[in-house]
Structure 1
Amino acid sequence: MTDPLQQALACIRPDVRAAHAYVVQPSAGALKLDAMENPYRLPPELQQALGARLGALALNRYPAERTAELARALARHAGVGDEVGVTLGNGSDELIGLLTLAVAQPGATVLAPVPGFVMYEALARQHRLNFVGVPLRAHDFELDEAAMLAAIAQHQPALIYLAYPNNPTATLWDAGVIERIAQAAPGLVVMDEAYQPFASQDSLGLMARQPNVLVMRTMSKFGLAGVRIGYLLGAAALVDQVEKLRPPYNISVLNAEAAFFALEHADVYAAQAAELRQQRERLFAALQALPGVHAWPSQGNMILARVPDAAATFAALKARGVLIKNVSAMHPLLANCLRFTVGTPDDNTRLLAELTSCLS
């Protein structure tokens, strides 16, 4: 007799059955410095105001024109005009999925520098596209321009992702190199600006000059990781194609209203970002001063550092109640590398004390 469960499992693609789900570390009771979240919550008076506002929403109705209004509000917040197309995703991850789906023709290729954000490759493979990863320069994690241009010429990618700054290296790559890549690209070039609140530059000017360039941002690093709002900007003719694939009602009324509230109090979040940029420089200097540690300059809200033994250091910190990210298995260029999210002053003080103890 056929086992009905095994029969059902056999209907699922073999590559899906062989894959691993994205793992989120349990964090109860720990100092959470593993996911590049903004560590600051809203002041109590704003929490109360937001709660009252969310409580008054018509939760019995599907999201309607409020979603479109939020899209335009985010475009205005980014500083672009109404001629620029914009669409929303349930976080940037959904937008990456929609972009991948939009180019998912037989034989199509997605290209990105590596190491980089893992979802570019994961979603390309889920849609059965070719993925080409072009290694960064080993010493400074900058783009290897010659290798990128050669890969573009060889593979003719339908979609190129350039994270700006990059995750996990926090690198803000050379703007001239990026422009030449965009000029050489036969398809879409997506500038993933998830960490834009912490960076000294953006790529909106490039988007204006190069019609194949799209800019993707998220409110997660802005301070709303739990709200899951991503948005995509670019030439309306391109963004409209992605909009066709967006699931109806993908942004809940609760999430949309929380996003509107955050934009109305953007000064609060801007002050938090400024504090985190200051703390980033403090943390970077302290990491550089630790024996055996090499930290790379950051333009995000995280710092990549190489330690003598990443696995042992990660385990020791976790045992002390401090969660960071061990990225050493992501790519050979990241051997013995750890990624530290920038926290509050007290968070960073504790991290440095525990890390110093672990390393000694």
Structure 2
Amino acid sequence: MIEDRIKQLIKPAILDAQAYHVPDSNDLIKLDAMENPYLWPEEIKKAWSDYMQQAELNRYPDASASVLREKLSSALNIPDNTTMMFGNGSDELIQIIMMALNKSSNVIMAPEPSFVMYRLLSSLLELDYIGMPLNDDFSLNLSAMLKSIEENQPAVIFLAWPNNPTGNLFDQSDIETIIKATSGLVVIDEAYHVFAQKSMMSCLEKYKNVLLMRTLSKLGLAGLRLGILVGASEWISEFEKLRLPYNIGTLNQLSANFIIDNISLLEQQAGQIRNDRSVVFNALSDIKGVEVWPSEANFILFKVTEKGAEHVHAELLKHKILIKKLHGAHPSLENCLRVTIGTKEENSAFLSELNKIMK
């Protein structure tokens, strides 16, 4: 029987897991995945198409992505004493860091609720994961984290900054206290940096046990799947041994090279999203039965206790609006939903329907 053979050959952790579900979004107003909602202007599309003519698709990609590396070093102000590694999205970088760990150093720690991939990849790789509950205001419970660090000696601590799905920035002094308290790595995940306009890149010069992640996905290139890991060369050189060759394709490299040269477009769009975030936050705050939290990202977390998240999510779907239902993901997210900031028209449609549902 094939089922018996599968059970014999596949790891129990894989057999027990569920594949990551991405909901169908065809014909929907898509406000669930923290994407930039804006298309490129036609003149930029034409310039990009012309630029891509240089692609030599009969050859393997530049394995070191040398041109992209040079452009990003300048664009991101990478410290001189650090180096970069590229991944097929941040997910691959997280996976590589975890895969590199010694069997005797198999504890991963992260606040919760936070980015689901920290827990998911830990489970798939059969590592011990410790989720540290946040305070009621979603700040770090520093004393509890320090106690757990001392007791469990985590190999890696992941800190999303701003945090997903709560949208807040953890106190920087708390983060530095954690960095000083651990003998392991601290990975600061700045996926939403462009919306917070704050960075802890300077920590790379102060602490050798800090790595910093960025991505081009939230800026407006989610389709490229390009994650960036920055840190001391001693760390990066070890992780490079696990990176599969040619993981960043030629078309991805060229597209990233092109948009970095035209980065002002995406920065302008990010500025519009930041402005619209304030509008959506204020509008949500005015809806009876909605509790909303301030955000430094391109999404907003809110709670609908009276109507219930299941009901609100389902009603929005009936009107072709897809947001993220977080109810059930963590005790502190009971009856919570997360909405991505879209275009003005998408935001208006969402707020209009939510107002009707909440009456």
The normalised TM-score by structure 2 is: 0.97
- Which residue is equivalent to 1:341? 340
Percent identity over paired residues: 41
CA distance in 1 between partners of 2:70 and 2:225 (Å):
17
- Which residue is equivalent to 2:293? 296
| Residues 1:197 and 2:222 are matched in the alignment | no
- Which residue is equivalent to 1:117? 115
The worse-fitting range, judged by mean Cα deviation, of 317-326 and 205-214 is 205-214
Q: CA deviation at 1:52?
A: 2.5
Q: CA deviation at 1:239?
A: 1.4
- Describe the SS at the equivalent of 2:109: strand
- Judged with a 3 Å threshold, the aligned counterparts in structure 2 of structure 1 residues 286 and 142 are, in CA distance, closer, same or farther, namely same
**Residue in structure 1 matching 2:4, options 3, 6, 13:** 6
The worse-fitting range, judged by mean Cα deviation, of 268-277 and 196-205 is 196-205
- Which residue is equivalent to 1:353? 352
- Which residue is equivalent to 1:72? 70
Superposed, 1:184-223 pairs within 5 Å as 184-223=181-220
- Describe the SS at the equivalent of 1:54: helix
Q: Is the contact between residue 157 and residue 185 of structure 2 (CA under 8 Å) also seen in structure 1?
A: yes
CA distance in 2 between partners of 1:100 and 1:15 (Å):
15
- Describe the SS at the equivalent of 1:245: coil
Write the deviation string for residues 270-305 of structure 1: whole angstroms up to 9, x where unpaired: 000000000001100100110010110000000000
Consecutive aligned runs of 4 or more in structure 1 exceeding 6 Å deviation: none
| Residues 1:147 and 2:123 are matched in the alignment | no
CA distance in 2 between partners of 1:192 and 1:221 (Å):
12
| Residues 1:264 and 2:257 are matched in the alignment | no
- Describe the SS at the equivalent of 1:338: strand
- Describe the SS at the equivalent of 2:39: coil
Q: CA deviation at 1:66?
A: 6.1
Task: Report how many aligned residue pairs link the two structures.
Answer: 357
Q: CA deviation at 1:49?
A: 1.6
- Describe the SS at the equivalent of 2:25: coil
Write the deviation string for residues 321-345 of structure 1: whole angstroms up to 9, x where unpaired: 0000001111000000000001111
- Which residue is equivalent to 2:81? 83
Q: Is the contact between residue 104 and residue 129 of structure 1 (CA under 8 Å) also seen in structure 2?
A: no
Write the deviation string for residues 216-248 of structure 1: whole angstroms up to 9, x where unpaired: 000001100000000001111111111121110
- Describe the SS at the equivalent of 1:112: strand
Q: Is the contact between residue 105 and residue 154 of structure 2 (CA under 8 Å) also seen in structure 1?
A: no
CA distance in 1 between partners of 2:70 and 2:236 (Å):
13
Write the deviation string for residues 31-53 of structure 1: whole angstroms up to 9, x where unpaired: 00000000011111111121232
- Describe the SS at the equivalent of 2:236: helix
Q: CA deviation at 1:160?
A: 0.3
Q: Which amino acid aligns with 1:19?
A: A
- Describe the SS at the equivalent of 1:221: helix
The worse-fitting range, judged by mean Cα deviation, of 61-70 and 330-339 is 61-70
CA distance in 2 between partners of 1:239 and 1:161 (Å):
16
CA distance in 1 between partners of 2:250 and 2:127 (Å):
34
- Which residue is equivalent to 1:319? 318
Q: CA deviation at 1:10?
A: 2.7
Q: Which amino acid aligns with 1:123?
A: L
| Residues 1:234 and 2:231 are matched in the alignment | yes
Write the deviation string for residues 18-74 of structure 1: whole angstroms up to 9, x where unpaired: 110100010000000000000011111111121232243100100125613312322
Q: Is the contact between residue 67 and residue 257 of structure 2 (CA under 8 Å) also seen in structure 1?
A: no
Q: Is the contact between residue 107 and residue 128 of structure 2 (CA under 8 Å) also seen in structure 1?
A: yes
The worse-fitting range, judged by mean Cα deviation, of 45-54 and 14-23 is 45-54
Q: Is the contact between residue 100 and residue 124 of structure 1 (CA under 8 Å) also seen in structure 2?
A: yes
CA distance in 2 between partners of 1:213 and 1:84 (Å):
11
CA distance in 2 between partners of 1:237 and 1:271 (Å):
36
Q: Is the contact between residue 79 and residue 205 of structure 2 (CA under 8 Å) also seen in structure 1?
A: no
CA distance in 1 between partners of 2:331 and 2:102 (Å):
29
CA distance in 1 between partners of 2:328 and 2:255 (Å):
36
- Describe the SS at the equivalent of 1:23: coil
Write the deviation string for residues 168-189 of structure 1: whole angstroms up to 9, x where unpaired: 0001010010000010011110
Q: Which amino acid aligns with 2:344?
A: P
Q: Is the contact between residue 106 and residue 129 of structure 1 (CA under 8 Å) also seen in structure 2?
A: no
- Describe the SS at the equivalent of 2:213: strand
- Describe the SS at the equivalent of 2:272: helix
- Describe the SS at the equivalent of 2:111: strand
Q: Is the contact between residue 216 and residue 225 of structure 2 (CA under 8 Å) also seen in structure 1?
A: yes
CA distance in 1 between partners of 2:81 and 2:13 (Å):
41
Q: CA deviation at 1:9?
A: 4.3
Q: Is the contact between residue 81 and residue 205 of structure 2 (CA under 8 Å) also seen in structure 1?
A: no
Q: Is the contact between residue 32 and residue 339 of structure 2 (CA under 8 Å) also seen in structure 1?
A: yes
Q: Is the contact between residue 85 and residue 237 of structure 1 (CA under 8 Å) also seen in structure 2?
A: no
Contiguous gaps of at least 5 residues in structure 1: none
